[in-house]
Amino acid sequence: MNNKTMVQEIGIKRCTHNPLLKTEDVTPSCENFVVKGIFNCGAAKYKDEYVLLCRVAEAVESKAEDEICFPIVEEKDHESFFRTITIKKSEHPQLCFDDARTITKGRDGNSSVVYLTTLSHLRLARSKDGIHFALDDKPTIMPNANEESWGMEDPRITQIGEVYYINYTAVSPNGAATALITTKDFEKFERKGILFLPENKDVAIFPEKVGEDYYAFNRPVPKGIGTPDIWLSKSPDMIHWGGHKHFYGVSEEGWENGRIGGGAPPVKTEKGWLKIYHAADRNNRYCLGAFLLDGKNPEKILAKSQQPLLEPEMDYEVNGFFGQVVFTCGCIYEAGNLKIYYGAADDSICMAEISLTDIYRHLGIR
């Protein structure tokens, strides 16, 4: 039985219109910008529309072979603007340009990131059917020049009442932290600051309080001791977080032995909290899996994927800006069916659907 057969058996169906959004659909933010990807997106229903808040990554085309150019964000008169940095490779023999996503110092694994090759911002797409999306033609949310000067990445949207909580990775030379923005209409956005200190990404906030508290999954990346594991944290007010508990760690071997992260905000089902998460192996091959958690106690795992729910197989998942990646930041659950929106190969936005019945079967529960 090959992987493809297995995925078919799981009952997950990729949308025949995949990719739903791709680099060609994106109007660059500036004349000299090149769109490198539109991928990891938060998903929500707003009024009668599906909305995706998409990560758009842009670069600046370099004019000479020895040059690398990339944008950052600066500020003047309280207004953010893009600025281009140019580095002559030959003048910086200590820098490494091997990873498509980063420029690092030090080659032997003890490397530190000194620049990102692309700058990401957030851009809104709207749809009546959840498949055909119209994308804003400029940044919907522009990074600020402080904790976001290297970009805003991987947004998630959690709706609670009429407020949409948008958490995202705020990247700057000080690290990759998780910050929060709220909106009620996807037109006016309010910044709420940093929720989780660097290095912490892949935050997924629950869509309601459980008991007295808001809950969020998060994924710290410690430098010394520990691996990139999922933690579960609580908050009385969505701003201040505590009660941190280690939730689930990377495995010794297999598809989850590199890193594991929050994925999409959990969905409430009659059997408990359903959570689609991502895991990567040590070769940076990213797959999706599912957790089912106790409805009253999200620390308690009722079931978990033994094999990937979705793995990179299609050309648009295997090849791209950073290949071998399926990565979700948002699902929409309607009428027994889960739409999983996912970034493919850090390049395009795709969708796959699976019925709750099939997920339960995949999880070995009925």
List residues near its own copies by CB under 8 A: 106, 108-113, 147, 150, 171-177, 193-200, 218, 220-227, 229, 231, 233-237, 239-246, 249
Q: Which is nearer to its own copies, 221 or 314 (CB)?
A: 221
Q: Which is nearer to its own copies, 210 or 351 (CB)?
A: 210
Starting from the edge strand earliest in sequence, which strands make up the sheet with 95-96, in order?
Answer: 95-96, 102-105, 112-116
Phi, psi of 2 (to 5 degrees): -85, 170
Phi, psi of 318 (to 5 degrees): -85, -35
How near is the Cβ of 223 to its own copies at its closest, in Å? Answer: 4
Q: Which is nearer to its own copies, 220 or 323 (CB)?
A: 220
* 334: CB partners within 8 A, 6+ apart: none
Q: How far apart are CA 107 and CA 78, in angstroms?
A: 38
How near is the Cβ of 259 to its own copies at its closest, in Å? Answer: 11
* 264: CB partners within 8 A, 6+ apart: 43, 156, 204, 275, 276, 277, 328, 329, 330, 331, 340
Are the beta carbons of 89 and 97 closer than 8 angstroms?
yes
Are the beta carbons of 345 and 101 closer than 8 angstroms?
no
Q: How far apart are CA 60 and CA 222, in angstroms?
A: 32
Are the beta carbons of 263 and 288 closer than 8 angstroms?
yes
How near is the Cβ of 13 to its own copies at its closest, in Å? Answer: 35
Q: Hunting for tokens 């990891």 — which residue is that? A: 40
55, 73, 277 from 130: Cα distances, Å? 17, 32, 21
Q: How far apart are CA 91 and CA 192, in angstroms?
A: 40
Q: Which is nearer to its own copies, 114 or 318 (CB)?
A: 114
How near is the Cβ of 206 to its own copies at its closest, in Å? Answer: 16
How near is the Cβ of 203 to its own copies at its closest, in Å? Answer: 11
How near is the Cβ of 295 to its own copies at its closest, in Å? Answer: 23
Q: Which is nearer to its own copies, 22 or 219 (CB)?
A: 219
How near is the Cβ of 85 to its own copies at its closest, in Å? Answer: 15
Q: Which is nearer to its own copies, 130 or 198 (CB)?
A: 198
Q: Which is nearer to its own copies, 85 or 197 (CB)?
A: 197
